[in-house]
Amino acid sequence: MLFILFLFSQAMEMLAYTYDSIPIIFLITDGSVEDERQVCGIVKDHMTNRGAICPRVSTFGIGTYCNHYFLQMLALSGRGHYAAAYDPDSIDVQIQRLFKAVSSHVLANITFDMLEHLDPIDVSFSWLGFHTEYLGP
């Protein structure tokens, strides 16, 4: 069993006050993780309290002995990505896919200052089966 609660909370704290970029934490494991609920709790707390720019958590499971459900939930809670390789031959391909997904651009803290100066517009979402009109702020 891996005891990662302390290390994980320490990593989240170290990266919590980054303002010019979004840090990424990778959890790669081939075994079970103890304190799964507490680790997910730490991630959820940081995501709730720190706002848009806080560490993203991506996970990678190797083999059948790790808790893939936990890894999926941790990545979901941490606004990251999850991938897995169930056999040794697929590790390279799957981890490259994970890195490619994580490397995609993330925009955070976007604001629009000119919304009060816009005229109402008519927007059609007929392909979704409804029609709406933007009436402004």
Sequential pLDDT tens for the chain (137 residues): 457 788 878 888 888 777 778 889 999 998 877 788 888 888 888 777 766 678 889 999 999 999 999 999 999 988 899 999 999 999 999 999 999 999 887 677 677 676 677 676 666 656 555 545 545 44
Quick one: pLDDT at residue 75? 93
pTM above the 0.95 mark? no
Classify 7 as helix, strand or coil: helix
Number of H helices, E strands in the chain: 4, 7
pLDDT at 125: 59
Per-residue confidence (pLDDT) for residue 134, from 0 to 100: 46
CA distances from 85 to 30, 36, 38, 76, 116 (A): 10, 20, 25, 18, 50
Tokens representing 120 are: 């109402």
- Give residue for tokens 């799964």: 36
Cα gap 131→121, rounded to integer Å: 12
pLDDT on residue 49: 77
CATH topology of domain 2-111: Rossmann fold (3.40.50)
- Answer for the pair 47, 54: CB distance below 8 angstroms, yes or no: yes
pLDDT of residue 87: 93
Any idea where the domains of the chain sit in the sequence? 2-111
Integer distance in angstroms from the first to the last C-alpha of the chain? 53
What pLDDT, on a 0 to 100 scale, did the predictor assign at position 47?
A: 78
